[in-house]
C-alpha cells in the first residue's frame, strides 16, 4: 500500500469564521486556503503542520455529510487521511482485503487531490480517506 504520511486530519466545525482564529492565535498556524467543495457540500480551511494538514470542514447543507455528522456527533475529528502513491491501486487493494469502501473509484477532493473513503464500519469506527496528490 505504501502510505507515506498522514496527509491531513479532517475536523468538523460549525463555523470556519469562529474556529480559524483558534488555530491561528493559539497555535500560530496560518490558514493558507479556504475552498468550497460543492459535491461534498462543505467549505474547507487548511493549515500546515509539518507535512500534515489540518482540514476544517464547515457544512454548506444540513443534509450533506458534514451537516449530518454535526447533527449526530457535534464538532470534532471527522476523518483521517493517508497519502498514497497510487489511489486506484490503493482502493482496489483495500477492497481485496475485505474492507468496505465508500468510494470504489477515486474522486476529486479539495486542493485537486484524488481521494477515496473507506467505510467506518470496516475500520473500527475511523472514517479513513486515502488521497493521492496528482499535482506533483
Q: Which residues of the chain form contacts with Zn ion (CB under 5 A)?
A: 10, 81, 129
Q: In angstroms, give the least distance from the CB of 55 to Zn ion.
A: 5
Closer residue to Zn ion in complex, CB, 20/40: 40
Q: In angstroms, give the least distance from the CB of 21 to Zn ion.
A: 22
Closer residue to Zn ion in complex, CB, 46/98: 46
How big is the chain by its Cα radius of gyration, in Å? 15
Residue of 117, 12, 15 whose CA lies nearest to 73: 12
Residue of 45, 23, 24 whose CA lies nearest to 34: 45
How many Cα atoms within 13 Å fall on the side-chain side of residue 83?
13
Q: In angstroms, give the least distance from the CB of 5 to Zn ion.
A: 14
Closer residue to Zn ion in complex, CB, 25/125: 125
Amino acid at each position: 500500500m505504501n502510505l507515506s504520511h498522514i496527509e491531513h486530519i479532517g475536523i468538523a466545525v460549525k463555523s470556519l469564521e469562529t474556529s480559524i482564529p483558534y488555530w491561528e492565535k493559539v497555535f500560530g498556524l496560518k490558514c493558507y486556503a479556504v475552498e468550497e467543495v460543492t459535491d461534498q457540500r462543505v467549505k474547507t480551511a487548511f493549515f500546515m503542520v509539518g507535512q500534515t494538514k489540518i482540514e476544517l470542514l464547515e457544512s454548506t447543507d444540513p443534509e450533506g455529510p458534514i451537516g449530518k455528522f454535526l447533527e449526530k456527533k457535534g464538532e470534532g475529528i471527522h476523518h483521517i487521511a493517508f497519502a498514497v502513491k497510487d489511489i486506484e491501486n490503493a482502493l482496489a487493494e483495500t477492497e481485496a482485503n475485505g474492507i468496505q469502501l465508500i468510494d470504489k473509484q477515486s474522486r476529486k477532493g479539495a486542493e485537486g487531490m484524488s481521494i477515496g473513503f473507506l467505510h467506518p464500519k470496516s475500520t473500527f469506527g475511523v472514517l479513513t480517506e486515502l488521497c493521492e496528490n496528482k499535482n506533483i
